Amino acid sequence: MKALQFESPRNFIPINIDEPSKPAAGEALVRVHRIGICGTDLSGYLGKMPFFSYPRIPGHELGVEVLEVGEGVTNVKPGDRCSVEPYINDPNSYASRRGFPNCCEKLEVLGVHRDGGMRPRFVLPARKLHPSTKLAFDQLALVETLAIGCHAVNRGAPKSDESCLIIGAGPIGLATLEFVKLTGAKTIVLDTNAQRLDFCRNTMGVKHTVQLSDSVEKDLRDLTDGHLPDVVIDATGSSASMSSAFGLVAPGGGRLVYVGITTDEVKFRHGTFHKPEGTLLCSRNALPEDFTRIIGLIESGQIDTKPWITHRATFDDLPGTFPSYTKPETGVIKAVVEVA
């Protein structure tokens, strides 16, 4: 069976692997139909993802079909179309038992710590499958990206009478945007890339966008009655941006949420963040209930995934096409790989 592998940074190759085994108790065998490409995949390709190990079959944003289930599986059956929750946790760990499987000490993410979905078929725990009778495989492959944004917004908890700044208009920032809009908070998007800000305004319906400049603090104050945003969500993964964000929260309990990841140091002067009595929050992965909520929101039409997919590739063409997705001038928002 053919699979695609990051053999090492910038070395993306087709390989041959064995067919998967039959699913054991609690497992399911799935056929992969769609794979979304995200920042983790791009960082893994470039050698910049801190948790990545090589060689690795990537792919964790997946729309799959259940082929066979093992003993005791009741949540899915053969023929079901599903989104995959790719965070493989130990149900008996301290964090998992407390309702935080996303923070499990033994967590392994498909396509990062263990082989992912860039292969036609594989076996995984059936509890990580979230079925839908209505959604297409394209939509199911986008649920995981949206779940990252959903969880980040839940961490910051913006209210309808507050303002929320999203720093970074890449896929994770856009996923965050979907859920900030649902809160009713005034939504502001900040980025360096004018093309992405145009996309936010013209396609995503964002009224307030700011392009990074020396006057960014003034620009934000102009949009927030002079007090800066109540919630700031940094989705860049840039240590420089994450460090600067400490100075952008409103006084009186402003919240800063990190959803992007960096291996570099993040620095700030204590007084900058102490003065507004700021709160720093981190957002890691997502929770099972986030997947359930998102599937329902897409099914009901409250989230429209059509604008997201800007590029497509076939499974066979992906190794040659993939490097172009790392270049901003390509204009990629979300690329989807068609496997079957």
Give Dmax over CA atoms of the chain in angstroms. Answer: 61
What is the set of domains in the chain, with CATH numbers?
2-131+306-338 (3.90.180.10), 150-282 (3.40.50.720)
**Whole-number Å distance between alpha carbons of 337 and 340:** 9
Mean pLDDT of all residues in 23-48? 95
Q: What percent of the chain shows pLDDT beyond 90?
A: 93
Give me the residue label for tokens 């929260």: 249
With a cut of 90, say whether residue 140 has pLDDT above it: yes
User: Quick one: CA torsion of 149, 119, 321, 109, rounded to 10 degrees?
Assistant: 30
pLDDT at 329: 87
Taking only the tens place, the pLDDT of each residue in 191-204 is 999 999 999 999 99
157: left (phi over 0), alpha (psi -120 to 50) or beta: left
Taking only the tens place, the pLDDT of each residue in 171-221 is 999 999 999 999 999 999 999 999 999 999 999 999 999 999 999 999 999
Sequence-separated (6 or more) residues with CB below 8 Å from residue 282: 155, 257, 258, 259
pTM (predicted TM-score): 0.95
pLDDT at 263: 84
**Whole-number Å distance between alpha carbons of 55 and 38:** 18
pLDDT at 100: 97
Give me the residue label for tokens 């023929």: 79
Q: How many angstroms separate the Cα of 269 from the Cα of each of 90, 219, 273?
A: 38, 22, 7
Q: What percent of the chain shows pLDDT beyond 70?
A: 100
